[in-house]
Structures are given as structure tokens and as C-alpha cells.
């Protein structure tokens, strides 16, 4: 006849094993929403970079209105606070995430990358309607800001 204590310990052991198994395969709602939101955020950045990049690379003709609008969008998206995106437990060990663990161990460095993007996109938005040369000059730093963060805080695809 197992003692009460044995039963309690067994139950506690089972619960902890199940909790680990659950945590291993499932995300909480907050984790999933954070990942979805930040990936949507990146999608919006990429979408607005499209026409700007194509003009900077001479693939489409320069259009001041299109350029100014896309650059304003880009700066607006870059300025959205990311505070609630980076939920603990959503690094690249989780299916669908490419976020390096360094985001959480070096949050100050990660935030500095975001600030660099805010600055570069604001500078681009200020001149994107002023002609192709102005756009090209301000576009480079935006690419560098994207690349710098992806270099330090994103893993390759699985």
C-alpha cells in the first residue's frame, strides 16, 4: 500500500514531466501572438522597402509620390514599439522562430539596432521624394540597419 507521501510525490513527478512535455511542444497564446506580430512587422517593413529598393537598384523608374509614401510607411512601422513582441521562450529553439537567444541576453544591444533603424528610416522619409539621388544616398543606411540586426540577432533558416 503506497503511503500518501509516495502518492503525492508520484503525482508531482508526473505533473512536472507533463509540464515540460507541454512546454516543449506548445506555445502559450502570448508567445504565439508575439511571434505572429513581430513577423507581420517584418513583413510590413519588407513590403514598403520593395518599391524603394527597386528604385534604388534602377529596376523601376523613380516616382516621387510612391517613394515618399513607402518611405513614410517604413519610418512609421520602424517606430512601432516592439516591447511586447519578444516574449521569453520564443527563440530559435521554437519551431518557426529564427530569433537568436542573444536578443534576451543582450536586450540593450538589440534595442540599439532598432533605434538605428528608426533613425535611418526617418532620414530616408525626409528625402525620398526629393529625387533618385537623394533616395539612393539615404537608402544605403537603411539596408545597413536591417543587415546589422539580422547579422547579430537572427539565425539561418532551418
Partner 1 sequence: MKLLGRSAVLGLIVVAAGWYLTRPQPLSPDVFNGITADSENGAIIFAAAGCASCHNADDQPPELLSGGRRFASPFGTFIAPNISSDPTHGVGNWPDVALASAIMVGVGRDGEHLFPAFPYTSYNKADVQDVADLIAYLRTLPASDQPSQPHEVGFPFNLRVTLGPWKALFEGDDWALQDAATPEIARGRYLVEALGHCTECHTSRNALGGVDRSRWLAGAENPSGDGRIPNITPAALTWSASEISEYLKSGFTPEFDTAGGEMAAVVRNTSKLTDGDRDAIAAYLKAIPAIANETP
The binding site for partner 1 (CB under 8 A) comprises: 46, 49-50, 53, 57, 92, 98, 100, 140, 143, 146-148, 150-151, 154-158
The DSSP letter of residue 94 is: S
Cα(150)–Cα(72) distance, integer angstroms: 22
Q: Choose between 48 and 85: whose C-beta lies nearer to partner 1.
A: 48
Q: Choose between 129 and 141: whose C-beta lies nearer to partner 1.
A: 141
Task: Enter the C-alpha cell of residue 26.
Answer: 506548445
Q: How far is the CB of 17 from partner 1 (least distance, A)?
A: 26
Q: Choose between 49 and 128: whose C-beta lies nearer to partner 1.
A: 49
Q: How far is the CB of 157 from partner 1 (least distance, A)?
A: 6
Q: How far is the CB of 12 from partner 1 (least distance, A)?
A: 33
92 to 34, 35, 44, 101: CA distances (angstroms): 14, 11, 21, 7
Amino acid at each position: 500500500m503506497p503511503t500518501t507521501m509516495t502518492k503525492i510525490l508520484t503525482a508531482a513527478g508526473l505533473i512536472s514531466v507533463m509540464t515540460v512535455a507541454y512546454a516543449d511542444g506548445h506555445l502559450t497564446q502570448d508567445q504565439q501572438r508575439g511571434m505572429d506580430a513581430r513577423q507581420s512587422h517584418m513583413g510590413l517593413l519588407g513590403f514598403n522597402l520593395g518599391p524603394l529598393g527597386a528604385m534604388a537598384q534602377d529596376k523601376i523608374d523613380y516616382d516621387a509620390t510612391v517613394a515618399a509614401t513607402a518611405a513614410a510607411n517604413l519610418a512609421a512601422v520602424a517606430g512601432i514599439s516592439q516591447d511586447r513582441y519578444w516574449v521569453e521562450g520564443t527563440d530559435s529553439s521554437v519551431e518557426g522562430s529564427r530569433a537568436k537567444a542573444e536578443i534576451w541576453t543582450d536586450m540593450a544591444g538589440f534595442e540599439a539596432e532598432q533605434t538605428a533603424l528608426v533613425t535611418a528610416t526617418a532620414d530616408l522619409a525626409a528625402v525620398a521624394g526629393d529625387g533618385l539621388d537623394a533616395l539612393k544616398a539615404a537608402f544605403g543606411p537603411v539596408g545597413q540597419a536591417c543587415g546589422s540586426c539580422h547579422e547579430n540577432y537572427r539565425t539561418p533558416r532551418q
